[in-house]
Amino acid sequence: MARRQVGSTRRVGDGGSFPFAGALNSKSRSSPLLSICLVLVGACLLIGYAFSGPGIFKSVKEVSKVTGDYYSCTAEIQRAIPVLKKAYGDGMRKVLHVGPETCSVVSSLLKEEETEAWGVEPYDIEDADSHCKGLVSKGLVRVADIKFPLPYRAKSFSLVIVSDALDYLSPKYLNKTVPELARVASDGVVLFAGLPGQQRAKVAELSKFGRPAKMRSASWWNRFFVQTNLEENEAPSKKFEQAVSKGLYKPACQVFHLKPLH
């Protein structure tokens, strides 16, 4: 549409092809009143066309917003909670979430019946809202560097869910962090990881995360799990996939189900 608009503008400037150009010619046989009416009609049409533009501009803006912002697997967890409950059943009784914006996940989990929830925020929460700081003061959320051992005993939680955190770790730290997550779980670990090609942190937030995110493929993760002696948690994984196939939830991130360490 933009090209057509430019072309029509040039034709106006050329002075011969615009439909109402004859009305503007002083030597025209039309009466002055008719000329004025035609000019007014043409002006109204041009103004109407110009004001029809915001819809187009809005669409472009919306596309820019989608492609410019980073995708959050943490936000996706909140949509996946009903499916996770179908897959893990009683395994959702004591849940630990690890990742940025963990306060939002913990708040959602606490609304579920017979579910206790805690969170580990790997990054600074100075800008967190009062509700999040309230969860911290209650001991439900804590700030901890996940590159080091978690401050919990083995099998402290039935299920550990991690999102938007491992994508920022190098393999050097992943080798320690992922088994550590499996250590504190009794029923399993659910790992939400970004897809290759997804944008993660905004440039302005790189200082918060320390390094750009590394989007790894499923084959990379599977090789990593083999190298670190982590096994797929097949039973809940199948239930999860069955729920997904029924359209209850459509993952936009990679989801891996791991067995706890024995």
Asked if the structure places residue 29 within a domain, the reply is no
Query: Which pLDDT value is given to residue 212?
Result: 73
Per-residue pLDDT of 149-203, as tens digits, reads 999 999 999 999 999 999 989 999 999 999 999 999 999 999 999 988 765 444 4
Q: 217 is written with which tokens?
A: 């493929």
Asked if the structure places residue 31 within a domain, the reply is no
CATH at residue 143: 3.40.50.150
Query: Which pLDDT value is given to residue 9?
Result: 42
Q: Let me know how long the chain is.
A: 262
Handedness of CA 198, 202, 208, 211 (dihedral sign): positive
What value does the mean pLDDT take over residues 83-90? 95
Identify the DSSP state of 114.
Answer: T
Asked if the structure places residue 202 within a domain, the reply is yes
Asked if the structure places residue 8 within a domain, the reply is no
* Residue 110: closest CA among 81, 76, 136, 80: 81
Q: Which residue has the higher pLDDT, 8 or 64?
A: 8
Q: How many folded domains does the chain comprise?
A: 1
* Residue 119: closest CA among 103, 130, 108, 134: 103
Query: Which pLDDT value is given to residue 151?
Result: 92
Per-residue pLDDT of 24-72, as tens digits, reads 444 444 466 766 767 676 665 555 444 444 332 222 222 222 233 456 8
Asked if the structure places residue 48 within a domain, the reply is no
pTM over cut 0.85: no
Structural domain that includes position 103: 73-260
